[in-house]
Amino acid sequence: MSDDADATGGKLETGEGRELTARFGVPEMDCPTCAKKVDKSLQRVDGIVDVTLQPTTGTASITYDPDRVNEREVIEAIENAGYEVVGGTDDDAEAGADGSAEGVDIAPPSEVWTSPRALKTWVGAVFVTAGLLFEFLLTSANVGVASVLGYPLALADVLFLAAVAASGIPVIRSGYYSAKNRSLDIDLLMGTAIIAATGIGYFVEAATLAVLFSIAELLEDYAMDRARDSLRELMELSPDEATVRRSGEEVTVPADEVEIGEVVVVRPGDKIPLDGVVVEGESAVDQSPITGESVPVDKTSGEEVYAGTINEGGYLEIEVISTAGDSTLSRIIEMVQGAQAEKTDTEQFVDRFAGYYTPTVVVLAILTAAIPPLVISEPFSVGVAGYAITFVGDWTTWFIRGLTLLVIACPCAFVISTPVSVVSGVTSAAKNGVLIKGGNHLETMGEVDAIALDKTGTLTRGELAVTDVVPVGDTDEATLLRHAAGLERRSEHPIADAIRVRAEEAEVGDLPAPTTFESLTGKGIRGEFDGETYYAGKPALFEELGFGFDRGERTDGGAIPEGEPKGGDATFADGTLTELERAGKTVVVVGTETELLGAIAIADEVRPASKWAVERLQEMGVEHVVMLTGDNEGTARAIAEAVGVDEYRAELLPEEKVEAIEELQADYGEVAMVGDGINDAPALATAEVGIAMGAAGTDTALETADIALMGDDIDKLPYLYGLSHTANGVIRQNIWASLGVKFLLALGVPLGLVSVAMAVVVGDMGMSLGVTGNAMRLSRITPEERA
């Protein structure tokens, strides 16, 4: 059994060999130490096959053999570790045909400040406050009120004991479960310290420790509950119900009962309940919950929409293409949960370190309590930083100092420093349209030294589009586009598609239909309008017709023949064609045998955000940004110059892209590769981090990439790098701060500079809250707005 296995999905379901998997909420299981205690308790139950514990979400996924153990016994095993269980199914409940019953994907929000534990803490706080008043201020009223085994008890002592009973018993109870499961954790250490202090008559210390530790636990529960809120918000994006058209009527049913092929109705302002294709209506849809796009996207018939997105203004009817459990949003949530379950390298190191740290400090606590009273026969003083510190051989003094070290022995803040940062970072990214499929990928992305970018579909849109319309003479743009699009009506070439789309956008009117049409292989096309022949094709085609263009040199270095142009002055300005070609564009010249109408330039258009994204990555510290493409040298050079990459490599086959990644790894270190998730799969797999673009509607990209940019825009890449880089800094800050504070407190204990209260408030409560609050900063990082 393992507490870092893959998550199973959130339902009770049948598996091979009649195995069942149930998912429970365990809200108070909020740190790896808690999870280990639960795991040890479950290990003793015969019939449990596999265990997945996620303290960051407060859930336990248990696979068991129903012939050997039932669900009630599984729940009892968790409760025997000292934790309340939420969810699951009744013992008598039977799984359906698919073995499914509702489970828990994340612990429900808890009423931390009004829980039974909180009420006991507040009662204890009242008693300890009253006790301190009588002990130190109202001393004349602090009279003896009882005697136990010959030991006199003053009023303040009784109040302190009442505080221990109210606030300390829950701690001692948890410590009992820890001892029962042989888990050396904070509950066992604190419970031991409270019992020991009470046993030797140090009621002030015992009561203060019980109340402060209980308050610390409540604050930690509150902080973890807030950390879980980000995932709850993600899970609440998709509505629970859908309005479905059945038998000509609209009925509202649970979303998970809607079948593929049914039509759902979505009115203005409603959330889209399931993935589907628009079959009627049009509207702007806010896709920011999935893709992170800040501007609503217009959707019309035939276009795909996603569950959890918001219909802004129009009426839509949508044909469902996936069930609720298989929607894009559901897969995102499942992958985010899986990312949180997977331990990072840093987290694994911290767990190993904690395994040595706690026993070592416990041994030091025992030695601190036992050795000094034996070796110090006479009091003596030592000067430390200008202060005189006196050491005495008093057993009670050193016993209290040993108890204080027990408090410091708890590694909670140190252990949660990494997972709480991963939770905050991964869920924040998901809400901004970036799916990070593991904490390791989050950490690695922040450390990359070079980023390789595919050209087509990444730096460019991946679709040919008209970029320039250059009429000559008396011809205007509309006339040029109308004749070009008319000639291209019969062509199926992508260039023809781009010209026709531009003509439609420009509303040039009805297109002329050529009475004859001929394709001039490798050169262009020819067609006849109203008795006159028109041509559209490469500049070389018109050079053969006798036109001369002043183009200096070709992009391949060859000389261009010059001659007296036909048509008088109706030709291009000097260098116009050369500039277009050097920009990596395909130039289509349009005209007749005697007159030029102009030229149209077509290119795979560079994304508006590409240049900005490359500049931001360079400013943020990425050492080398390189473009990899299978396109020709001229086009690659033009795109590279346009976006400002440090290097480009052209005419690469897929296996050559892999070689390029390996060379970058040898030259720079860790490399991230950004591509489409399919054609670039070998290079994505070779890089330390593979990032897929536009993955919202692509199952392959979601499954194969380490990180997926859900929207089809590269401007999230600087956000991803910045988030990852900041997350690494937060993790380091949390680890070293918690270790440093613990170390300083441990040094101060033998010197008598650290009290039990200070150890609890600073070393336990303070640091746990500190690392959680520091990690939550990641949730406030948002993508930059481009100027």
Residues carrying an active site annotation: 454
Structure tokens given for 784: 């930059």
C-alpha to C-alpha distance for 718 and 127, rounded to whole angstroms: 54
Crossing angle of helices 477-487 and 494-505, rounded to 10° = 140
Query: 646: closest CA among 615, 669, 616, 625?
Result: 625
Structure tokens given for 49: 């096959």
Find the farthest-apart pair of alpha carbons in the chain and give their distance in angstroms, rounded.
125
Residue linked to tokens 């009588």: 134
Q: Where are the alpha helices (DSSP H) in 432-476?
A: 439-445
CB atoms within 10 A of CB 254: 12
- Cα angle: 431, vertex 704, 631; to 5 degrees: 100
> Phi, psi (5° rounding) for residue 321?
-115, -5
Query: Three-class SS string for 269-287?
Result: CCECCCCEEEEECCEEEEC
Please report which helix (H) or strand (E) contains residue 707, including its range: strand 707-709
Query: Three-class SS string for 111-129?
Result: CHHHCHHHHHHHHHHHHHH
Strands 671-675 and 450-454: parallel
Residue linked to tokens 């399919």: 678
Query: Please, what sign has the CA dihedral across residues 448, 452, 457, 459?
Result: positive
DSSP state of 522: T
Q: Please tell me whether residue 213 adopts helix, strand or coil conformation.
A: helix
- Contacts of 487-496 with C-beta under 8 Å, sequence gap 24+, read 487/514, 487/517, 487/525, 487/526, 487/527, 487/534, 487/535, 487/536, 487/590, 488/525, 488/536, 489/513, 489/514, 490/514, 490/517, 490/527, 491/519, 491/525, 494/464, 495/464, 495/586, 495/588, 495/602
C-alpha to C-alpha distance for 446 and 576, rounded to whole angstroms: 44
